[in-house]
Amino acid sequence: MAETPRRRPSSYEISNTPLVEDWSALIIAIDHVLALDNEEWTKRLAVLTAEALYLLEPETGDPDPLSPFSHTWWRIGMHDLTDIQFVPAEGELRLCTSLLFESDAHLRHAPGSSVMRDWHDVIRMVWTERSETVLQRSIESCLPGIDRPSSPGPGSSSSRTRRPWRREALPEIDAIGTLLKERDGLLWGGLTERTFVLLSTGTFLYYLRTPDSNGELLGDLRGVIELDGATLELQPLEEEEHAAIPGSSSSSLLLTAAVEPEPQPFYEVPKRCGSLSVRCETAQQQRVLEERLRKTIAQLRRKRGRPTPSGVGLRQRTPPQDDLQPGVGATPTSTPRRLPLHEVVEGETPTGVGTGLGTGVGTPPPPPPAVPPLTLLLLLNLSWLLVRLAPGGSSLWAALLVANAGAVYVLRLQPRAGAAGGGTAALAARGGRGAAGGAAAAAAAPPPAVLPPLAPPSERPAAGELAGGVDAACWRGGDATCFNVRCGPDYPRQGLKAPSQPAMYELLTMDMVRTPSRLDHVARYVRLPPLPEGAADGPLAPIFIVNIQMPLIAPPTFGGESPDGPNASIIFYFGCTAAAQREAASEAPRAGVRLMRDYCAAAPPPGGSRVGSQCNYSFKVIAQMDNMESLGLPRQLARFNGKPALINKSGMLHAGDGYLEMDVAIDKFTFLAKRGLYSVLDTIKTFDIHAGFVLQGTSDGELPEIIIGAGRCPFVDYSKLRSFGSDGAAA
């Protein structure tokens, strides 16, 4: 007999979020406010839900793709409020709480945002509704035969109130709501409620939300599954399972990811799910969720150029025929083919790609790991149970802790699939081919991809003519005043920005090339451009080079640095202006010029290199699309247009005679940042990109920032860039 699904106790239930395609089911009001923090007014994003008012931290550095909103700075629960006061003379809203060690909240109007009177009205409305509902629930719970009323949502009263609302602060989503998912623990079974968010990027997140303990706006992130290449199936339910939730669908939805994630310890969250079985409270909501999931999966497949599979039960774990490499069961194309995300994993060869031995057999699987991950996970869980059941004793506790630590250590060091030599050895042993087969495979393998050797200085191409040069229509100088930079005062608290002053460097020329691997320290391969007049008459580096290294292959799934493979290098050559050199040599240069002077003084000696995180100031890249409105991209991406990216571990500063070069390796970004860039790689040719580069200032003495240099790269088509280097054939 099928197990009756277990549900959370009713005391933990919050308002059931209806399945909708925007944030209105969860968020009642959202806008910027000024909040009092240690006698300083700081700008915060305020978000009101049915259970609390959240004041969020300002976004700094690279945003977390797994967190649609920034972290909570202050949460004010509706059940903790004792009074709401609006002081018109000061334009201040005071939220008085009953917490002993928590001060009252003081809010004021932020320029360009909603007035405090609107915030007062909508917070009071939600607070009143919640208080009345809690009282009514307490009375009716004492009366027999009375059903408990549903928890309050945004409510009709608050919907009639003029609500503060800032649409551009909301990430773009395809759906949000409450679902029932199967528990994945070892001790508990059945179903549990989770709040899910389906991002427009194809990421499916689910959260644990409780009525009074949501430290974060969406709750505790418990799991994530990527829908790129995923499949969706309908699984019929047993009669007992269906009858346990009246009005629900007779089947559940099973999502299966294209790539099985690496095993995780049972206590680690969020879970990277290889599969996820979910249901909804009603059949109607489940039909809506199924429709949204299928639409999102189909859109992702169309972006990858893959056909949409027919039938709900189809699982496509191997790449389709039109995704095979040219020359192996596929028609060669004139342009390089980029493997979809779910086919290329670090250290693996896509299943179904021929071996070149004429057998028609795909590349054999790599040898299994020395210790199966399932055994390690079992050891972890048994250790936990023994610790709970064992009597006191330091020796036993120490042994269990050592076993636990050893299991975690071995699990972290599991050899990745497709280790070097594993596939070749297995292939040579198959079919009785022996050493001869291995030799034939080695002979048939293409030569490794290599960069050209360094040429003598007199034989190197001029900067701007690498691999034959780039069309002059593909680049032009930028305008530093188009970029908003930190200006202070007291930036960490106020977060004020303003347009930059004119740049210290002017764009001299650019190179754009495709390479078989990362092109590091590109200044060694070219003759530097002629210096502008006065460019060398001061303490600043006469030439400043920025080399953006964009990988053209999919990042490894769920973390790890990308393997060094095909790249596109976008190279900016800047020359220092005479005015910047004169100011840098003066006794009182502006803060931004002084930062650049100190940065150049602390640079490694000629011939040396240094990781960006070891430099005295952090380097930032600001990329914005000047044609964002005409592209029709999701608002979630529009939020990051013009946002600076902090380059630390992904940057490498090289020094030479008369120049500094900053290499920015995008394959060292976080996984989801790399995946996001890879997902739009084919559409970058429609972007009118305007890039600026700046050193980060923090204190008032380092502000305002000034753009080092800026350049425009409109409508760059990576597939048409000239090749620099060999990929096994002629470059």
Average predicted confidence (pLDDT) for the chain:
76
Is residue 17 a part of any domain in this protein? no
Average pLDDT over residues 295-317: 62
Q: What average pLDDT does range 505-521 have in this prediction?
A: 95
Q: In the prediction, which pLDDT does 61 show? A: 59
Residue 621 has pLDDT above 50, yes or no: yes
Please indicate, yes or no, if residue 426 is contained in any of the structural domains.
no
More confident residue, 331 or 634: 634
Q: Is the pLDDT of residue 213 over 80?
A: no
Q: Residues near 327 by Cβ (< 8 Å), separated by ≥ 6?
A: none
Residue 189's pLDDT band, with cuts at 50, 70 and 90, is low
pLDDT of 310 > 90? The answer is no
Nearest to 113 by CA among 28, 26, 170, 34: 34
Same domain, 190 and 152: no
Residue 238 located in a structural domain: yes
pLDDT score at 134: 53
Q: Residues 525, 628: one domain? A: yes
Give the domain extent around 380: 373-412
pLDDT at 724: 92
Residue 248 lies in a domain: yes
Return the pLDDT at 639.
67
Among 243, 275, 304, residue at a domain's last position: 304
Co-location of 581 and 712 in the same domain: yes
Q: Rounded to an integer, what distance in angstroms lies between the CA atom of residue 318 and that of residue 566?
A: 23
Does any domain span residue 348? no
Establish if 265 belongs to a structural domain: yes
Average pLDDT over residues 418-430: 35
What is the band of 493 on the pLDDT scale with cuts at 50, 70, 90? confident
640 & 515 share domain? yes
Same domain membership, residue 192 and residue 134: no
**How far apart are alpha carbons 504 and 110 in whole angstroms?**
33
Same domain, residue pair 117 and 249: no
3-state SS, residue 691: strand
pLDDT at 157: 43
44 φψ region: left (φ > 0), alpha (ψ -120 to 50), beta (else) = beta
The residue from 134, 167, 200 where one domain ends is 167
30-74 confidence digits (pLDDT tens): 999 999 988 889 999 999 988 889 999 887 656 677 788 888 888
Other CB atoms closer than 10 Å to residue 55's CB: what's the count? 19
* pLDDT (average), residues 631-646: 74
pLDDT higher than 50, residue 27: yes
Same domain, 100 and 228: no
pLDDT digits (tens, 9 = 90+) for 694-722: 999 989 999 999 999 999 999 888 888 99
What pLDDT shows up at residue 188? 54
| Together in a domain, 152 and 259 | no
Query: Which DSSP string do the residues of 595-656 spell out, in sequence order?
Result: HHHHHHHTSPPTT-EEEGGGSSS-EEEEEEETTHHHHT--HHHHTTTT-EEEESTTEEEEEE
Alpha helices in 103-154 (DSSP H): 116-140
Side-chain half-sphere CA neighbours of 71 within 13 A: 4
Q: Residue 401 has what pLDDT?
A: 67
- Answer with the residue of higher pLDDT: 707 or 185: 707
Structure confidence by residue, pLDDT tens digits, 62-114: 667 778 888 888 888 888 888 899 888 888 999 988 876 677 899 998 998 98
What pLDDT shows up at residue 307?
Answer: 55
**The pLDDT value given to residue 328:** 33
Residue that finishes a domain, picked among 395, 412, 429: 412
Q: Are residues 607 and 643 in the same domain?
A: yes
Closest CA to 97 of 110, 70, 114, 78: 78
Residue 462's pLDDT band (cuts 50, 70, 90):
very high
Does residue 479 carry a pLDDT above 80?
yes
Residue of 118, 123, 201, 115 lying closest to 155 (CA atoms): 123
Same domain, 583 and 702: yes
The pLDDT confidence band at residue 161, using thresholds 50, 70 and 90, is low
Least confident residue range of 267-271, 423-427, 617-621: 423-427
Is there a single domain that holds both residue 298 and residue 383?
no
DSSP 219: -
Span 480-496, average pLDDT: 89
Report the predicted TM-score, pTM, of the whole model to 2 decimal places. Answer: 0.46
pLDDT: which is higher, 424 or 542: 542
For residue 510, what are the CA distances in angstroms to 286, 504, 507, 567, 568? 53, 17, 8, 16, 13
The pLDDT score that the predictor gives to residue 383 is: 66
The interaxial angle of helices 578-585 and 591-601, nearest 10 deg, is 80
Domain of residue 40, CATH code: 2.30.29.30
Kindly give, in sequence order, each residue whose CB lies less than 8 Å from that of residue 416, ignoring residues fewer than 6 positions away: 346, 347
* Residue 645 and residue 620 share a domain: yes
Distance, in Å, from the CA atom of 181 to the CA atom of 193, rounded to the nearest integer, reads 7
Q: What is the mean pLDDT of residues 558-573?
A: 81
Tell me how far apart the alpha carbons of residues 570 and 548 are, in angstroms, rounded to a whole number.
Answer: 5
Q: How confident is the model at residue 387 (pLDDT cuts 50, 70, 90)?
A: low
Report the pLDDT value the prediction gives residue 167, as an integer from 0 to 100: 86
Question: Is 590 or 560 the better-scoring residue by pLDDT?
Answer: 590
- pLDDT at position 691 is 96
The residue type at 412: R
Q: In sequence order, what are the residues at sequence separation of 6 or more whose Cβ sits closer than 8 angstroms to the Cβ of residue 389? A: none
- Region 173-193 average pLDDT: 75
Q: Is residue 673 part of a domain?
A: yes
Our count of domains for the chain comes to 4
Flag whether pLDDT at 635 surpasses 50.
Answer: yes
Q: Which three-class secondary structure string do you get for 392-433?
A: CCHHHHHHHHHHHHHHHHHHHCCCCCCCCCHHHHHHHHHHHC
pLDDT grade, residue 411 (50/70/90)? Answer: low
Is 2 within the bounds of a domain?
Answer: no
Residue in the structure block whose two tokens are 């996984």: 671
pLDDT band at 416 (very low <50, low <70, confident <90, very high): very low
Rounded to an integer, what is the distance from CA 728 to the centroid of its chain? Answer: 33
pLDDT higher than 70, residue 6: no
**For residue 355, pLDDT beyond 70:** no
